[in-house]
Every structure is written in structure tokens, then in C-alpha cells.
Chains A and B, each alone.
Chain A
């Protein structure tokens, strides 16, 4: 049958290293582009470049390691990973280390890490695990249970506060529900409900700085030296890049320090300024390829758990790209999310590559069905 054929079609790399060649090539290409942009965005600092390369090496190693873990093992671990993630999220609120006004880190002596990162993987795993044990599409009661599972970690991350990560965690869970066949009717009514409660969020639940970010989206000149400054400077950077860009290392906006956070969350503006629309479209195409490959892997997966998990991970990766580029280009409010594989910094990169490790594992551990 076609499954037999699939198994036979596994390449050498897929069979022995459990890596997916296409995905690996695209990710490596992306990492390469990232290093080139980072060098320019960090004032040609070889030190930053070196540190980023070390992080990349760690991230690729994590990917390679997770790719070796079969989906069955992953499935067995799932409830425990989720539980451990929850415990750590609670711990971080009690004994976590603060930095930049938020309490996100657990100090393990050797290194610090953010338990919220684990949730980006653990929550979709948990939902996929739960839903794969039910007949699909899910019934209302199961959907509600899933929503509770999504809400708990999301709420724990919101209060840290870390809006960007909570958004991703929430999205990764909702994607699983969507892919599991959540009825359109339910989705639409939930959306309507959400829209009607928006004023509650606005008036009671949002921090002032979060409101300011949304207000400045509509009118960046409201606060030209505060939260509007980022958007004004980054749209100037992007727009002045034009079709062909100002050339590598020649972006005046970025090189002359006008662009804030230019090697982290706003690195896309540096890229756009220096490489222009031509470069931007190529980069977006590369992202599109990676996401599409992820979705393809999901459709080829052999059981519900793998399908739901793979699909959710691919779509979550898309959220990174969309939110970051949307924010930098002034379409979305400023939410602290990095541009995956390109922004300077290691925490989210490791999680992203771990997700691709899982995707590769799902794709390369497919077996022959005993008929």
C-alpha cells in the first residue's frame, strides 16, 4: 500500500539520523541569513555573532536529539511533561528570578531558563494526547476541558507578565483544537463571545503599557519617544529600504542607532532596510516553505496524536513570523516576540528547534502497518 511505499521512500538521512533533509536545509539557510543580518544589526560585533553561533549549535543539537525520540515515547511522556511544566510555572511565580519587570526565570544554578518555553511544546502535546484518545471531532464537553487545559498555563504566563509567550502558548493549544475538527459553529460563537468581552479586557485586565501599545498602533505619533518610537523608526527603516534595499551594513536607520532593539525583536526592520522588498519576499517565501513542509509532515503522520501535534507546531511557528513581522511593519501592536531563527537570543530558538526535532521525529519514525 501507499504506507509501504512511504517507508521505502525514506532517505538515508531520514532512516538513520531521523532528520528531514528539506526541513533541515531550509532551517540551515534561515540560520545563515540570520547570522548575516545579525552581524549588521549588532554593529558588526564578532562577539555577538560568536554567541549566536553557539546558541544555534545548541539549538540544532537539541533538534537532533529530539528527532531520535520516537513519537511513542513522546506520547508516553506527554502528561508528565505537561504536569512538570505547570509545576514549574507555579514555581516561577513563587521563587522565580525577575528581570526587566517580569518574573520569568527559574535559576537552576548552572543556568536560568523560562518554564513558559516548555509549555510551548507541552501544551500542544497534552491536547493532542487527550484528543487522540477521543473520537473526533470533539464534543462540547471535551472542548471545554481542552479550553481549561489551555487557559491554565496561559493565565500563569500572562501574570508573569509575558504577553508574547502567553499568546503563543494559547495559540498552540487552539491550533490543536482547530485541527482536531472543532465545529465551525462553535468557533464562530466563541469569536462572537470574545468580541463582546473585549471591553472587559480593556478596562480591567490590561496593563497600561499594553493599552499604550495598541493605541500607538493606530496613531504612532501619540507617543513619539515612548512606545510609538519603535514603530515610527521601524517603518521608516523598512520603507526607506525600497525595492532593492540600501545594501548589507549600509542601513542608515539601523547603523546610526535610530532603530531600537534592532538585533532582537526589530531585526526584521534591519533586514528590510538593507535587502529591500526583494529580500523580504525571499525571506517570507523561505518561512512559507518551512511552514508548508511542517503541515505536509502533519498530513503524512500515521496517527492522530502525531498529526495534531505536528500541525500545531507548524502553525505556531507561523504565529512567530506573522506576529513579529506584523509588529515591526506596524500592522500589529508591539508584542515581544522574536523573529524565529534570526533575532539575537537563545531561549526561544532552542524551543523552536526542539519543535522541529519533534516534527522530524514524527516524519522519520513512520512504520509499516502490519496488515
Chain B
């Protein structure tokens, strides 16, 4: 800019220079495009005959062969998910002279409704005439045989068998198994297209989704010869698909059934864990639904009725139901109190039916309005005295409560690996600041002492925490997969459970025994809240009842179950392990609006524990290496 004369002269020169270069570039473009033209001429004029011949001989096509999906078994080999041949009716438009008459004739022997017809006609518009198109997807055996006798009347129509997923027990264990459904657009983008070539279904929930990688297998290929129009004439060679692996769950179908029967018409969940290896023996959630509905594409009306059902059958309560633990949290807090020297077992707290703090005009009520009188630790546990635990919680404080409860697995995902597991909430000062944006109040500490307030747990978490309690502080990750059988016919490989880890160390190992002793009194004691199930019990059970409030009563309102809508009743909870002296099975029961933990939930746990003791052989599992070292 200093010398505008110079600039102007330069810019003229620059313009000329640019124009020269542009002309050179243009020449280059012309030459290279010419080269392309020549190449095209070479291919399309001089090479035309040769390529035309090659094009007509171009008749070998690759057709994918989908693999068979792995089966799902329970721990004893009972088949929970299998593949069944289903028959579909295929029409090849090219080979059918009079489509109208053919359809009319077919409708006389096979039930074909308007939806089938509409879908077929839509397919026909999109496809080529030599392609075989499905008219009806699931033929009954009667229809198959009826068609077989008359097939000569229908040239261009055939019945094709293909394997589809089938759940032989219907709703049984549906929330653990899950189901497969047609691959949707989102999944198409995610999956490896060559592996899923020819596959139409994919795991959508539960174990079917969790182990999709293993269950699916790898597609094979078939090279087929086609005619010039692309119709298959004969197969040339075949690379067989690799079938998916068979999966053996830790679930015991018999125990699962007992759990489902025990829940009956209630909404709720029962989770059973073998405390010695972390095996989930039952994972029940009610109400249930039939997974077979989803395999062939559920119609929107049925889906909507399931989705909008007030009882929410699709909802997996065992993994996703988040409930306040209620009084079932008390044994854990009792241990915390012993560990921190808050209470000794003989220390007494007077329960007048409510708890109050000096200077605060609020009364925290005990469930027993009359009051329990003087309570030591054993009484407080057996009778589930709230006032004792209000006082305990107040003296323990939220920080120590949070710190002590976390290693039991509260507030984090149990790590079963099943899709959709929720973590619940183990409240703390940090949690509240992060999620509610405010500090912690004393009153909240007090209600946390009876498992109310912000505290939320899932049935799986409760079972797991109970297992840790039964294991005297050893945390064994829960697992759902017991064994795998690769390639459909190989050896069954039983997986070794992960080693346990000493998650909680108490200053005095005796405290575990104290806790178990008091929990036995809940069941076997004369005033225990679960004493009704103790009759003719031939083993010792350690349990704890709980009720979780669905809504909060005003301070002076009376609790009257009759006046409340059934859905406003408290949730009934019960956790237990048995046999008390050498624990094997941890059970968590949550019954939505069940009212009473002792009357409703405890008998279910008893039935399930009875089944466990009957069905699961008592072989002491070999301690893993890590545990040996610890011992």
C-alpha cells in the first residue's frame, strides 16, 4: 500500500500472470477430461463386445445364510428360549398368471386378512417380479397341510419354513430373558451388516439383549448361480454360518416359578441370590407379559394396552423399580451403630410412640402409635421400633451412614450387566447438593434412619446387600450367566464366579453374629414382626420386614388402610437369608401396595427359601484363590 503506482503496475502484471496460469489450467482440464473420454470410448466402443459377454455371464451372486440363534437355558438346562420352524406363504408374482384368482383361492383355505393383503400389495410394488414375497407370515399346521394337498392348483405359491424365536414358557421369567424383535432402523446403523446379513431379529431387552453378541453368531454365505434376470438357478458353494452360543443362566426355573406364584396377583418383585457365589437364582417381576407377542411384531393396539396398563407389566421391577428400603435398612444401620460405638446392644431408648428433638416442633412418629416403651437393640430390631432408629440415625449422622452403607452396594448399579439396571439413591450431603441444590437437614437424617426420605433401592440391590450381610461383609458381584456352550454343540463351559471382596470390616467380628441373632428374632422371636411364618419352619431364617410409605401422612392423621385406595397402601418389603447359621440364600421381596411386610412379603420369602433349600444341592463351593488368602 506504500507505493500505489507500483501496486497498480504489479496488479496488472499479476492479472496477466493469473490469466496465463488459468489458461494452462484450463488446457490441463481439457486434456484430462479428454483422457477420460478416451478411456470411456475404449471401454464402451472397443471393449463393448467383451464386457457385454461378461455382463451376461455375470450370474454368480452371494446370498447370506443367517446363523441359528443360541438357546437360553436355566441353570439346569431347562430351555427358556428356543428356535422353532414357522411357515410362511410365499408368492412369486412372475409365475402367477392371475393374481386375483390365486389370492381368492388361497383365502378359501388359509385365513388371510386385509392387513396381510395390504402389506403384500405394498411389497409387490417395491419388489421385482421374480422375487418371492411373503403373503402370510405364520401359518398354522392345519393351514400348511391344507395347502399341501392343493398346491398343484397354485403355481408360483410355496410354503417356506424358517426358524424364529420362541419362548416355550410364555411369560415365565420374561423380565430376565427379555425378547427379540425385528431389527429397527437405529439398530441397523449400529450392527455389523455383514454379520447380520440375512438376520431379521435382534435382542431387545433382558438377557436376549445383554448377550446379543454371543447369542447371534455369524452369517454364512452361499454362492448361487442366477439367470440373466437374477433368479436363482442352483447353489454353487456354501460357507456355513457359525451359530450363536447357547447360554445357561444362573436362574433356576423352579425357584423362579415359586417366586412368580408367590407374587401372584400382586405387583412386585422377588430376587434370590446364592450368597456363596453370587448366582441370581430368581429374578421375578410381576405382572408379566408374553414375550412371544414381540417376536412377530406386536400390533400397535396390543402394545399400547401393555404400555398403558396401570400395572405396567413391561416394567422390570427387579432391576428398575426404585423403592424406599423402609425398615429393611435397620440391620445395616444397627451394624453401623455398633461399629461407631453409638449404641451397645444393652443400651435402651424409650419409645413413647414418637421422637422429637429439643427446640424443634416436630414429632417423628413410630409405626406403633402407643409406643414400644423401653427398647434395647434386640427388641428394637424384632419389633422394628422406629424411635430407636430415629435416635440411632440422629447420633450416627448422615455422613457416617452414607459411608457405612455404600460398600453394601446401595446407591450404585449392582453390576449384573443386564440392560436397564438402576442405581437407586443413597442420600448424602453431596448427593443433595448436586441434585436438589441445597444443604442437608437434620430431619432428613432422622427419616433416613428408617429408610425413608430420599433413600431408594431396587429389589436386586436389596437382595445383594442382604447377601453381603449374610457373607459377613464379603461382596460377591451378582451374576446371571452360569455357563456358555459355543457353536451350538460344543462342551458346556461353566464360568467361575468372580472372587468375593471383603467390602466391610467391622472392628469386632462378633457384631455380625449379633446382627444375625437379632434378625432371627424377627422371625423366630415371640414378638418378631415376621413371626407368622415361623410355624413349622425346619431351618433358621434371619429376616427383616419393612414398609415403605407411598405417601406421607399428616402428623395427626390416623392410618386407616380401609379408607385408602389400594394403590395408596404402603409397599411391603422383606429381606432375609437362610439358613441363619451358615447362610446360602438371600431373598429380597418388594410388594407394591402390599400393606404389611410381615403379613404379605415375609410368607413369599419363606416359600421361595423353602424351594431353594429343596432344589439347590448343598455342596460347599470351593473358595476362590483370593478368598483362601484372606482366610
Contacts and interface: CB of A to CB of B under 8 A. Distances in A.
Interface of A: 135-137, 175, 178-181, 233, 235-243, 252-253, 255-258, 272, 276-277, 280-281, 284, 287-288, 291-292, 295, 298-299, 303-304, 307-308, 311, 315, 318, 321-322, 325-326, 329-331
Contacts of B54: 236, 239-240
Interface stretch (B18-26, B74-82, B267-275, B467-475): B18-26
Contacts of A299: 18-19, 22
Nearest to B26: A295
Given A242-B52, A307-B18, A315 B25 contact: yes
Contact of A329 (B26, B40, B228): B40
A304 B55 contact: no
Given A239-B50, A303-B11, A311-B18, 13 more contacts: A179-B21, A179-B22, A233-B58, A236-B54, A241-B44, A242-B44, A256-B58, A281-B40, A287-B33, A292-B29, A304-B11, A315-B29, A331-B36
Main secondary structure of the interface of A (DSSP, over half): helix
**Chain B interface mostly helix, strand, loop or mixed?**
helix
A-B pairs, 6 with minimum CB distance: A239-B51, A240-B55, A256-B230, A277-B44, A239-B43, A239-B47
Given A181-B17, A307-B18, A272 B44 contact: yes
A181 B22 CA distance: 10
A304 B40 contact: no
Given A179-B22, A288-B29, A304-B14, A237 B48 contact: no
A308 B18 contact: yes
Nearest to B13: A136
Interface string B51-93: 1101110100100000000000000000000000000000000
Nearest to B54: A236
A298 B15 CA distance: 10
B41 interface: yes
Contacts of A135: 10, 14
Contact of B22 (A236, A298, A303): A298
A292 B50 CA distance: 36
A145 B35 CA distance: 34
B36 A243 contact: no
B48 A311 contact: no
A243 B44 contact: yes
Contacts of B13: 136
B360 interface: no
B18 A237 contact: no
B138 to A, nearest CB: 28
A258 B37 CA distance: 24
B45 interface: yes
Nearest to B44: A277
A138 to B, nearest CB: 11
A325 B32 CA distance: 11
A280 B29 contact: no
B188 to A, nearest CB: 13
Give the most central of A236, A252, A292: most B CB within 10 Å. A236
B146 interface: no
Given A276-B44, A322-B33, A181 B55 contact: no
B58 A236 contact: yes
A290 to B, nearest CB: 11
Nearest to A276: B44
Contacts of A175: 25
B137 to A, nearest CB: 23
Query: A240, A256, A304 — which one has the most chain B CB atoms within 10 A of its CB?
Result: A240
Contact of B15 (A233, A276, A307): A307
Given A257-B230, A329-B40, A331-B39, A136 B25 contact: no
Given A179-B18, A288-B29, A239 B36 contact: no
Nearest to A136: B14
10 contacts: A136-B10, A136-B14, A239-B51, A242-B48, A256-B61, A258-B61, A277-B40, A288-B30, A292-B26, A329-B36
Contacts of A137: 17
Nearest to B41: A277
A304 B21 CA distance: 13
A301 to B, nearest CB: 9
B52 A240 contact: yes
- Most chain A CB within a 10 A radius of its CB, from B35, B43, B230: B43
A325 B29 CA distance: 13
Nearest to A233: B58
A240 B51 contact: yes
Contacts of A291: 26, 29
Contacts of B39: 326, 329-331
B185 to A, nearest CB: 12
Contact of A295 (B15, B22, B61, B229): B22
A228 B573 CA distance: 66
Contacts of B40: 238, 272, 277, 280-281, 284, 329
Contact of B43 (A252, A288, A308, A329): A329
A281 B37 contact: yes
A343 B25 CA distance: 26
A276 B19 CA distance: 36
Contact of A288 (B33, B55, B61, B229): B33
A361 B56 CA distance: 50
A326 B40 CA distance: 10
A235 B37 contact: no
Nearest to B60: A258
A154 B197 CA distance: 36
Contacts of A288: 29-30, 33
Contacts of B58: 233, 236, 252-253, 256, 258
Contact of B51 (A178, A238, A255): A238
A240 B29 CA distance: 27
A271 B55 CA distance: 16
Nearest to B226: A256
Interface string B216-253: 00000000001011100000000000000000000000
Contacts of B44: 238-239, 241-243, 272, 276-277, 280
A304 B18 contact: yes
B29 A243 contact: no
B43 A238 contact: yes
A178 B23 CA distance: 12
Nearest to A252: B55
Contacts of A307: 15, 18
Contacts of B50: 239
Contacts of A277: 40-41, 44-45
Contacts of A284: 33, 36-37, 40
Contacts of B36: 284, 322, 325-326, 329, 331
Which of B32, B35, B50: most chain A Cβ within 10 A? B32
A235 B54 CA distance: 10
Contacts of B21: 178-181, 311
Contacts of B61: 256-258
B63 to A, nearest CB: 11
A318 B41 contact: no
A291 B44 CA distance: 25
A210 B552 CA distance: 68
A180 B21 CA distance: 8
Nearest to B7: A135
A23 B239 CA distance: 53
Contact of A243 (B22, B26, B45, B51): B45
A303 B18 CA distance: 11
Nearest to A232: B54
B393 to A, nearest CB: 44
Given A239-B43, A277-B40, A253 B22 contact: no
Residue of B10, B22, B47 most packed against chain A (CB within 10 A): B22
A129 to B, nearest CB: 15
A325 B40 CA distance: 9
A42 B25 CA distance: 36
Contacts of B48: 239-243
B450 to A, nearest CB: 43
Contacts of A257: 61, 230
Contacts of B47: 235, 239
